[in-house]
Amino acid sequence: MIYSKLAAYYDRFIDHNLNDIYVRIVKKHFNEGLVLDLGCGTGPLSILLAKEGFYVTAADISKSMLEVAFNNSIKENVKINFFVHDITNPLNNDSDIVIMSSDVINYLDSKNKVVMAFGYIKEIMNPASILIFDFLKSDYLLGLIGYSEVIEIDNSTLTWDVSKTAKPLQIKHIVNIDGNVESHIQTTFPEGEYKNFLRESGLEVIEEEALEDRIIFVCKKK
């Protein structure tokens, strides 16, 4: 399972600026409501939104990540409901705001999986609901190929290497933590293709924000 070993160190790599942008977008559309944070990781964005008064449910495919997220929520004295979930599976949590931040969608490696995930999200949205997600820009993702770093964290040595795969716009991360190796694949698609996937799923982009490394879409039901 991806991030089973990295979960304990993941808070060191959080993009706090991106989380702040998500909070700003959410508060532009809602002052309160039900948030579903899919691919929540260790929970930093969930915690921020809970502190803003939103009722947050958070999910991740990694039990290890959720354990850290739960402990973080206790430390921050906020109530968040956590559950294990694969975004290519159906949902039953009706939500005002659905979030997939920090390139969660890039862990799906095919059009069919992306369309499936969007379709399941649409089913739990009401006419006023919004979906907010981001995806890595193609040139940024390809620019990560060849990245290699050795990081000393506490008493552990973490080595992170990125290589290309045989599939276009796809990379492989290999993380070695004191001899424990885990890997994960990230795939992206051009902006226009993500818009097509959304349309096929019954969703449409109502606003977007381009950052240096990624694009954020805000979507509603058509």
22-41 tens-digit pLDDT: 999 999 999 999 999 999 99
- The sign of the CA dihedral 131, 140, 188, 151 is negative
What is the Cα–Cα distance from 34 to 94, expressed in whole angstroms? 8
What is the Cα–Cα distance from 74 to 76, expressed in whole angstroms? 5
Q: Which two tokens stand for residue 200?
A: 């096929």
Low-confidence winner among 46-55, 177-186, 190-199, 205-214 (lowest mean pLDDT)? 177-186
Architecture per CATH, 6-136+189-221: 3-Layer(aba) Sandwich (3.40)
User: Is residue 191 scored above 80 in pLDDT?
Assistant: yes
- Same fold? 6-136+189-221, 139-186: no
* Among the listed residues 84, 55, 81, 61, the one whose alpha carbon sits nearest the alpha carbon of residue 70: 81
Percent of the chain beyond pLDDT 70?
97
Give pLDDT, residue 200.
Answer: 98
In 3-state terms, what secondary structure has residue 46? helix
Q: Where are the domains positioned within the chain?
A: 6-136+189-221, 139-186
Task: Give the tens place of pLDDT for each residue, 79-133.
Answer: 999 999 999 999 998 999 999 999 999 999 999 999 999 999 999 999 999 999 9
What is the Cα–Cα distance from 173 to 176, expressed in whole angstroms? 10
The CATH code belonging to domain 139-186 is: 2.20.25.110
